[in-house]
Amino acid sequence: MDDAWAYGLCGDAAAPECFTFGSATVVIGDTGTLITVEAGDGLDRSCVWNAREVRLLGPVPTPVGTRLVGEPRERGTGDGRQPLHLTVRNSEGLLYLGTGSLTRSATEVRPGGDKRVLTRCTLQLDEPLSKLDLDRVRPPVPLMNLPSLEWLRHVDGNRAGALEQFITGWYPALPEPAEPSAVREPAVDLPDGLKQLYRLAQRRPRCLGVQNRVLSSSGLQTDPTGEMLVFGEENQGGFFWSLLWTLDGPEADPTVWFREYDEPPIAEQEPLSGFLLQFSLYEASMGADYRAIPRTLAAQQVDKLAEGLLPVHLRPFWPWVPTRFYVAPGLVLHVSDGGEDGFSAWAGATHRSALAPLADAPVEWSRFDG
């Protein structure tokens, strides 16, 4: 494909407006929009992200934002959007990916401004790319230096050590603050496991959760009865985790209680030391930049999916939907048993190359970033 042919997708070649921002170029015409990104990928650039998804990173020029999110209907028809044509420029020239549609977008107020600016768009291809075409527009990268599994050796005997090694290996540390932290210490004495997690969170705050969360040390609270110390909660407030509240001081490794607000509490199968490992693994997979998410699985498919991974020898996490964990360097897979509804699974990785052990699994993917 040459540029003139591509511009023709938008209408009269003399009429379209052209905007370049970062590694993306957008051409706006009367009959369509042409979006071109450079081959390769990264978290900080516009690119082909996987076989179904193209990402645009801004700030996006206002006319482009208006075309993508502010013009819901095609001019003159009253029905449907104008087509979005997606292409990639590599050493071979311009490669046509097909048409797509906007699925997600994000805006923010930029420094010095007072209006919201479109900063991120996710576009989904109408037809997914083949493996061959994906490799042409997003060339494979070699295995990177990935977090080790040294922590896994300590799960049975030194869970505090396992937790520290996993968190420090998975999350990069923020720079040391110029001044001592002004975070207020909790007003209650806490078990050593929670103290350790809060210490790790000073430079790795994401370890407190991105889907669900452990409350900040200054935000701990008792439940309405005053019997339990609530330390964690679901992202929409549907359930919480707590410890038995006592004036005699905390147990060394107490039971963790899971509870919906209007239901009796249920004990997690692992005490706090194991629970914090499970919570950390779950949140690491949920919050990872690179993901592999299959559709509902049968038991035999779970076995195949986890075949090349190592199991984490802890009793199941989360009473609602018992969940087990499997790992490889830089990769966490959690598998939840939904009973008659089958199994759900979600893998997260620190780099897309870490998803390689899952690439040939005989499952149908709703998303695969490897």
Residue 181 has pLDDT above 70, yes or no: no
- Is the separation of the CB atoms in 104 and 122 below 8 Å? yes
Question: Band of the pLDDT at 73, cuts 50, 70, 90?
Answer: very low
> pLDDT at position 70, please?
77
Q: Is 28 helix (H, G, I), strand (E, B) or coil?
A: strand
> Mean pLDDT throughout 52-64?
94
- The pTM for the full model equals 0.89
Q: Is 135 helix (H, G, I), strand (E, B) or coil?
A: helix
Give the residue, 251 or 106, on which the prediction is more confident.
106
> pLDDT at position 189, please?
83
**Cross-strand bridge partners of residue 350:** none
**CB atoms closer than 10 angstroms to residue 155:** 18
> pLDDT at position 182, please?
47
Q: Which two tokens stand for residue 95?
A: 């490669």
Question: Band of the pLDDT at 76, cuts 50, 70, 90?
Answer: very low
Helices (H), the chain: 3-8, 62-69, 131-137, 159-170, 192-201, 272-287, 299-305
What is the overall mean pLDDT for the chain?
Answer: 90
Question: Band of the pLDDT at 23, cuts 50, 70, 90?
Answer: very high
Q: What is the pLDDT of residues 349-363, one digit of tens each?
A: 999 999 999 999 999
CA distance 280 to 270: 14
Q: Is 288 helix (H, G, I), strand (E, B) or coil?
A: coil
Q: What is the pLDDT of residues 314-340, one digit of tens each?
A: 999 999 899 999 999 999 999 999 998
CA distance 357 to 370: 10
> pLDDT at position 14, please?
59
What region, left, alpha or beta, does residue 40 occupy, with left being phi > 0 and alpha being psi -120 to 50 degrees?
left
Using CA atoms in the order 147, 166, 172, 240, what is the torsion angle rounded to 10 degrees? 140
- List CB contacts of 147: < 8 A, sequence separation 6 or more: 166, 169, 170, 329, 330, 350
Q: What is the pLDDT of residues 191-217, one digit of tens each?
A: 999 999 999 999 999 999 999 999 998
> pLDDT at position 178, please?
64
Going from the C-alpha of 331 to that of each of 102, 169, 292, 303, the distances in angstroms are 29, 11, 10, 17
Residue 118 has pLDDT above 80, yes or no: yes
Give the residue, 68 or 247, on which the prediction is more confident.
68
- List CB contacts of 285: < 8 A, sequence separation 6 or more: 332, 333, 334, 346, 347, 348
Residue 112 has pLDDT above 60, yes or no: yes
> pLDDT at position 124, please?
96
Could you give the percent of the chain with pLDDT greater than 90? 71
Residue 264 has pLDDT above 80, yes or no: yes
Give the residue, 71 or 113, on which the prediction is more confident.
113
Q: What is the pLDDT of residues 131-164, one digit of tens each?
A: 999 999 999 887 778 999 999 999 999 999 999 9
Helix axes 272-287, 159-170, angle to 10 degrees: 10
Indicate the DSSP class of residue 234: -
